Amino acid sequence: MKFRKLISKFLSILFLCLFLLQGCQESPEEDIVVNKNEGIMENAIAQSENAEKKENNIPETYTDNFMTASNDLEIIVDADVTAVEEPLPVVRVRPHEITSDELKLWADVLFEGKTAYEPVVMLTKAEIEQEILWRKQKINDKDALIEEHYGNEAEADSLIEYYESQISGYEKDYETAPETYEKKESDWTFHPWSYYNTDASHWEGSDEAAQLDKTVVFKANVDNLNGHKATIDAYNRTEEDYRMHSLWFYYLDEEAMGDIPYKELSQEEVIEIANKIRSELGLTEWELWDVKESTTDNESAYRLTYSSIYEGVQTLLGSTINLQSDDLYAANFYYELLEISVINGIVRNVELTSPMEVVDVENSNVEVISFEKAYDLFKNQLQSEYSKSVFMEGDIGENSELKTLLENAEFKIKVTSIQQGLFRVKVKDSSGEFMMIPAWAFAGTTYMDGEELTSGNLVVINAVDGSTINTDLGY
């Protein structure tokens, strides 16, 4: 059973990667473009805003059943269809850097007016002793380390060597460490990564430290929020290799929050709480996308996901992007996302990832392909590009048991949602700007012998030129 679970985990990652890389062709040697369709999309966007309103004939649901060209992978479509009323825009956007004013607003709202303090950037002698003790315990239980790394003894040995080097560094720091520290109010300033890292001296001069310090960081804590410690973290990175802009609020002692009384709330009440926080943070151009509930005997827990709105049209959520791809087309910037967690009536987590700001509305009424055309493109993509053999293309080495299991397994893809909205793609030049374009997202779940492997977007079709968007790379 354990082996089969490991296989399932391996396949979920493999199959997700295979779908995310759909439509990928050889990378060009010339400058970056939105897609590889010889400028068709750029030309369509540049046309005058004369798209005529037409009968879309978009169904509310859609069903279909077909096999891939290899006749060994079944695709079952039983999907709700969500369309957007025309006109549909194309909006040029760029990454928004987190500002000090936004940090102050988040602290005022989420810290409930309490004083925000700088986090501790130097450990006390007692804290260093705890860090050393924890690492010594890890070193002295090699068997546990091996188990944590799925039986890989070499990985465990490497980690032991790393812990030993850290202990040496901590022992050196201990000589000058203070007995206590004095709190300092936040000055709302971003700093290099090493400023906040208590063991940065152990990394000093390394390639890793130099790379990390290209991302400026902000942190501020509050000591007593609902009886616990909370923090606000922010990151700004504007390097050419990849960008990163994010803003988070969360509790530092999350595991110790079992003392918060259980409070049962309806989904409507939770949405009201989250929407209030969203509005107070000035994030009004965001619309609820999904609500997930995970209530237990001790927690009434909800996680709400929002996507951004441009010209009145909601964006489609993107998948995890390849942040450091060297592909010339790659966006190297996470997709825009807002998430709010509410547990027992308390906002426990707020995450704003990759916020964008509008540069220009390129076209407020762009011509788009029909639903029928988008579906045909999606169907052709799955029929022509996929078969059961895709499950055999991963790095499975000489594991004959895994190969046998894959060969005998039955795989299916179930499409349960077809949704129209805006989706982000990279623009032609290397300025770091993007386009929010109309698109169709076909989402669902992959199964092996009836067991779920992955769920999410399977194919995203560019509704302007009909190309398949490579969601892993962002073009």
pLDDT truncated to tens, each residue of the chain (475 aa)?
444 444 454 445 444 444 444 433 333 333 333 445 556 777 777 775 555 655 668 999 999 999 988 888 899 999 999 999 889 999 999 999 999 999 999 999 999 999 999 987 778 899 889 989 999 999 999 999 888 887 888 889 999 998 998 898 889 889 888 888 788 999 999 998 878 875 655 556 666 666 777 899 999 999 899 999 999 999 999 988 899 999 999 998 877 787 889 998 999 999 999 999 999 999 999 999 999 999 888 889 999 999 999 999 999 999 889 888 888 888 999 999 999 999 999 999 999 999 999 999 999 999 999 999 999 999 999 888 877 776 655 555 555 676 777 777 888 999 999 999 999 999 866 568 999 999 999 999 989 888 888 888 999 999 999 999 999 999 8
Q: Contact, 111 vs 225, CB < 8 A? A: yes
Residue range(s) defining the domain that contains residue 344: 100-121+186-357
- Cα–Cα dist 370/440, whole Å: 10
379 in the same domain as 327:
no
Full-model pTM: 0.80
Neighbours of 149 (CB within 10 A): 14
H or E element: which one contains 21? Answer: none
Q: Contact, 95 vs 243, CB < 8 A? A: yes
The amino acid at residue 184 is: K
- Total tally of structural domains belonging to the chain: 3
Residue 471 lies in a domain: no
- Cα–Cα dist 63/68, whole Å: 16
Write the CB contacts of 155 (distance below 8 Å, at least 6 apart in sequence).
145, 146, 149
Residue 435 lies in a domain: yes
What's the pLDDT score for residue 18? 46
Of 448, 381, 462, give the one whose Cα is nearest residue 414.
448
Label the pairing between strands 411-426 and 74-82: parallel
- Cα–Cα dist 372/380, whole Å: 12
H or E element: which one contains 26? Answer: none
What's the pLDDT score for residue 31? 36
Of 164, 180, 196, which marks where a domain is finished? 180
107 in the same domain as 83:
no
Residue 467 lies in a domain: no
What's the pLDDT score for residue 10? 46
Phi/psi of residue 472, each to 5°?
-70, -30
Q: Residue 474 has which token pair?
A: 């962002």
104 in the same domain as 51:
no
Label the pairing between strands 216-225 and 191-192: antiparallel
**Any alpha helices (H) in 323-432, and if so which ranges?**
371-385, 400-408
The amino acid at residue 57 is: N
Residue 408 lies in a domain: yes
Q: Contact, 336 vs 310, CB < 8 A? A: no
261: cis peptide before it, omega within 30°?
no
341 in the same domain as 291:
yes
334 in the same domain as 283:
yes
What's the pLDDT score for residue 433? 92
155 in the same domain as 107:
no
327 in the same domain as 219:
yes
DSSP 326: -
- Cα–Cα dist 107/343, whole Å: 20
284 in the same domain as 140:
no
294 in the same domain as 215:
yes
Q: How far is CA 3 from CA 48, 156, 405, in A?
A: 58, 21, 11
Angle made by CA atoms 339, 344, 349, in degrees to the nearest 5: 25
138 in the same domain as 109:
no
The amino acid at residue 1 is: M
Q: How far is CA 285 from CA 261, 275, 288, in A?
A: 33, 11, 10
- Cα–Cα dist 136/151, whole Å: 20
- Cα–Cα dist 358/426, whole Å: 14
Q: What is the DSSP string of 43-58?
A: HHHHS-S-PPP-----
DSSP 336: P
Q: Residue 54 has which token pair?
A: 């037409």
- Which residue shows structure tokens 């079952």? 76
What's the pLDDT score for residue 1? 43
- Cα–Cα dist 120/198, whole Å: 8
324 in the same domain as 344:
yes
Label the pairing between strands 301-310 and 337-343: antiparallel
Residue 469 lies in a domain: no
Burial class (CB in 10 A: 0-12, 13-18, 19+), 464: buried
Of 323, 357, 391, which marks where a domain is finished? 357
Of 418, 409, 468, 423, give the one whose Cα is nearest residue 14.
409
Q: How far is CA 457 from CA 264, 350, 352, in A?
A: 32, 24, 21
Q: Residue 367 has which token pair?
A: 């011509």
Longest dimension (CA), the chain: 77
Q: Residue 151 has which token pair?
A: 């039986």
Of 328, 357, 386, which marks where a domain is finished? 357
205 in the same domain as 290:
yes
Q: Residue 30 has which token pair?
A: 């010339």
